Structure 1
Amino acid sequence: MMSSSSLAAEGWTAVAVACGTFFGLGLVAVGYGTVKHASRDERPGLGPALLARLPAHWTTRRVVVAVFAGALSGALTAWPVAAVLTSVALLTLPGLLGPDRQAARRTAQTEALATWTEMLRDTLSAAAGLEQAILATSDIAPAPLESELRRMAAAIRAGGSLPSALRTFAEEVDNPLADVVVAALVMAAEQQSGQLAPLLSELAESAREQVAIRQRVDAGRASVRTGVRVTVTVTLSMAVGLVIFNRSYLDPFDTLTGQAVLAVVGLLFVASFTYLTAIGRLEEPIRLVTPSSPGAGSGGAR
C-alpha cells in the first residue's frame, strides 16, 4: 500500500498540474485579447476596458512563454503558487528591471522639441513666414520628431490648413510640451502675432529645464533599478539553488500552510515592485490638445 506521504505528494502534483493548466489557459486568453483588441470593433463593457489597460508589451509570444514557464515550474516543484508567481514574474519583471525605454524616449522627444523650437525661432528671425519656417525646419528635423514633422510638412504642401496640420502634429507627438508649442504657433497663424520669436525662446528654455529634470530623475531611478536587480537576482538564484541542490530544505512548502506563506511572500514582492514603479513615475502635465475620438477628423475642435 502507498504511504500517506506518497498520496499527499501525488495529490499536490495533481493540484499543481490542474492549477497550472487553468491559469495557463486564462493567461493565453488574456494575451490573445491584448494583442487583438485593437483590431476589433469597439464594444462597451468591462472586458474590453480591462484588456485596453493591459501593457502593450504583453505580446502573444511573451504570454505563451510565461504560461509555459509557469506550468513547468509548477510541475517541477508541485507548488501551484510557484506556477502563478513564475508566470507573473516573466510578464512584469523584464519591464521593471530592464532599461526604461519609455522614459528615455520621452526625454529624447522633449529635447528634440526644444531643438525644433529653437530652429523655428532662428528661421523666423531671418524674416521667413511661419509656414515657410515650418517647411524649412521639417527637412532638418531632429531624429525623434522626424517622421511627425515630415508628415506635417507633407500635409501643408498638399494644401491643408496650417492650424489643422499643427493640431495633428500635436496629437501624433503626444507630449504636453508639444501642445504648448502648437498652441503658440496656431495663435500666431490665426492672429498674426508679432511676438512669436521671444515666446519660442521661452518655450525652448522651459523644455531644456524639463530635460535636465528628467535626466536627474532617470539617474536616480537607475540606481534604484540596479538595487532591485541585485535583490531579485540573489533571491531567485538562492531559490533555484535550493530546489536543485537541497530540495528537502523546502519540504515545508509542500503543505497547504507552506503554499499560503509562499503566496504572502510573492504578494509582498508584488507590492514592493508596484511601489517602486509608482514613486519613479513622472506625472505628466495636463494636455492642451486632447486626442480626437475614434473616427473623428484630425482637425476637429479642441
Structure 2
Amino acid sequence: MAAAPAQPAAEPLVSSDIELIALLSGAACVGGIVLAVVSVVGTRASAKPPSRSSRRLSRLWNGTGVSAAERRRHRIVVVAAIAAGALAWMVTGLPMVGLLAGIAVPGAPWLFGVGRAEQRAIARIEAVGEWTRRLRDVSSTGQGLQQAIIATVSTAPEEIGDEVALLAARLQAGWHARDALLAFAGQLGDPMCDQVVAALVLHLSDRGERLGDVLSSIATAAAAEVATRREVEAKRTQPRFAVRFLTGMTLLTLAYGLLNPQYMEPYGTPTGQVVLVVLGGTFVALLAWTRAMSLPPAPVRFLAIPDERREG
C-alpha cells in the first residue's frame, strides 16, 4: 500500500500576526479595567450647569424659539443652510461661494420677512385689548380674578390664545397669581401687556373695586396704540420694499454664479476668494443695515421680568 502523504507543517506566526494579537489583548485589558472602574464608581455624574460654550451651541442649533415648533423650524433651517453651502461648494469648487449660499438660506427669509414682526406685534396689542375687555366683562359678574382669567380661555383671541391658556393652566396648577401674571407678561413682551399685568397685580394686593374702570382705560389705550402703529407701519412700506428688492437681486446674482462657472472663474484664485468674501460680507452688512432702518425701535418695557429661556 502507498504511504499516506505527509501533513504540511503548521506555518509559524509572522510578526504582523503577533502584533495584531498583542494589540487585541491590550485593548481587551484596557476595556476590562474600564468596566471594572465603572462597576465600582458608577455611570451617573453629578448634575452640573451647562457651560457657556454648550449654551451657545445649543442656542445655535435650537434657536431662541419658545415653542417646540419654533425650535424644530430653526433646526430645519440650519440643516438646509449646511446642505445648500455644501452643494454650492461642490458645484463651483469655491468654498466662499458655499459660505455665502449657506448664509443666504436663513438670511433670505429674515430679509424678505421685514415688517412681519411688527405686524404680529400690532395684532398682539389688538388681541390684548380685546382680551382685556372680555376679562373686564367676566370680572364684573362677581367672579374672582383667577376664576375670571380661567373663564376667558375659551374666548381669548387667537394671537394670544396659547399664552392665556398657559396662564390659566399655571393658576389651576397652584402657581402664585403674581408669578403667573409676570410670566404671562414675559411671554408677550409688550409694554401694553405690562400695563394689564401691572393693574392685575395691584388688584391682587389691594382688592380695589375699580378694576373694571382700569381695564376699560387700558383697552382704550390699546386701541389708540394699534391705530398709531398701523399709521407708522404704512409709512415704512417704501424702505421695506427696497430691502426685499435688494434681497431678490442678490439671490438672482448668486444663482447665476452657481449656474455659470465662467462667471465665478475670476474668484477661483486665493486673492479672488478674499475679494469675494469682502464684497459678499459688505453687501450682506448693507442689507442688514437697510433692514434695521426700516424697523421701529424696540418698545421700552417697565416690568423687570427675567428671561425664562436664559434661566432654562
Q: Does 1:260 align with 2:274?
A: yes
User: Structure 2 CA distance, aligned partners of 1:157 and 1:83?
Assistant: 52
- 1:97-108 superposed matches below 5 A: 97-98=112-113, 101-108=116-123
Contact 1:179 1:289 in 2 (8 A): no
User: Structure 2 CA distance, aligned partners of 1:174 and 1:231?
Assistant: 31
User: Structure 2 CA distance, aligned partners of 1:151 and 1:244?
Assistant: 50
Deviation of 1:128 after TM superposition, in Å, equals 5.4
Q: Does 1:44 align with 2:51?
A: yes
Cα distance, 1:277–1:165 mapped onto 2, change above 3 Å? same
Give secondary structure in 2 for the equivalent of 1:138. Answer: coil
User: Structure 2 CA distance, aligned partners of 1:185 and 1:278?
Assistant: 35
Cα distance, 1:170–1:275 mapped onto 2, change above 3 Å? same
Give secondary structure in 2 for the equivalent of 1:59. Answer: helix
Deviations 1:77-128 (A, max 9, x none): 2322211111111122222213655433322221111111122334445565
Letter in 1 for 2:286: S
User: Structure 2 CA distance, aligned partners of 1:127 and 1:85?
Assistant: 61
Contact 1:117 1:201 in 2 (8 A): yes
Cα distance, 1:143–1:271 mapped onto 2, change above 3 Å? same
Name the counterpart of 2:292: 278
Cα distance, 1:194–1:217 mapped onto 2, change above 3 Å? same
Cα distance, 1:212–1:77 mapped onto 2, change above 3 Å? same
- 1:142-181 superposed matches below 5 A: 142-156=157-171, 162-181=177-196
Contact 1:170 1:289 in 2 (8 A): no
Name the counterpart of 2:303: 288
Cα distance, 1:222–1:127 mapped onto 2, change above 3 Å? same
Name the counterpart of 1:23: none
Contact 1:176 1:284 in 2 (8 A): yes
- Computing the radius of gyration from Cα coordinates, the structure with the larger value is 2
One of 100, 117, 129 as aligned partner of 1:114:
129
Two-structure CA RMSD over aligned residues (Å): 3.5
Contact 1:108 1:144 in 2 (8 A): yes
Deviations 1:152-198 (A, max 9, x none): 34554566654444334334434332222112112112212233233
Cα distance, 1:249–1:128 mapped onto 2, change above 3 Å? closer
- Unaligned 5+ residue runs, structure 1? 1-39, 297-302
